[in-house]
Amino acid sequence: MRTYELVFVVDPRVSDEDVVAMTQEYKQMITAGGSQVSKEESWGRRKLAYPIAKLNEGKYVLLGIESEGGKSSLPEVEHRMRQNDKILRYLTVRTDEDLKRAASRHPKTAGRAGESPAGLAADATTAAGPGGSSAAAAAGEV
């Protein structure tokens, strides 16, 4: 089984509800392609380290994906993200091999390897309201 992490940055002018709707759409595409979404995190509004498209902030969403080898709709999802100009950046990383390698090095401490660092995973469910997302952004910035 392969696991992936997909992070994308949405234009901050897009409302939180629309971000949730977009995320939902991508999740549907992923599940339609025969993979599972195992994790969903919204980091909320975060300051960008450098301006992208003259914007200084972005809304971050992370999806954890599990798929059986072979078919996967990830290329299609990436293609759609590239064409969506509300998405400033996206990044898909395959994590199963690296995590497995890490686990074999230190079997005892391997459990924490796949977890998100405390600063970012402020709200681990779907995108929270305005209050929740700003708290998440504040926590991540320190």
Partner 1 sequence: MARPRKVFYRRRKVCKFCADKIDYVDFKDVKLLQQFIPERSKILPRRISGTCARHQRLLQQAIKRARHLALIPFTTD
3-class secondary-structure state, position 73: coil
Least CB distance from residue 20 to partner 1, whole Å?
20
Q: Which residues are CB-contacts of 1 (< 8 A; sequence separation ≥ 6)? A: 66, 67, 68, 69, 96
Kindly tell me which of 27 and 89 has the beta carbon lying closer to partner 1: 89
Kindly tell me which of 6 and 30 has the beta carbon lying closer to partner 1: 6
Kindly tell me which of 17 and 97 has the beta carbon lying closer to partner 1: 97
Phi, psi of 132 (to 5 degrees): -65, -40
Least CB distance from residue 64 to partner 1, whole Å?
11
Least CB distance from residue 50 to partner 1, whole Å?
5
Least CB distance from residue 116 to partner 1, whole Å?
6
Sign of the dihedral defined by the CA atoms of residues 4, 84, 17, 46, in that order: positive
Instruction: Please tell me the number of Cα atoms within 13 Å of 35 on its side-chain side.
Output: 30
Beta bridge partners of 4: 65, 94
**Residues making contact with partner 1 (CB under 8 A):** 7, 9, 48-50, 52, 58, 60, 62, 88-89, 91, 93, 95, 98-99, 101-103, 105-106, 109-110, 113-114, 116-117, 119-120, 140, 142
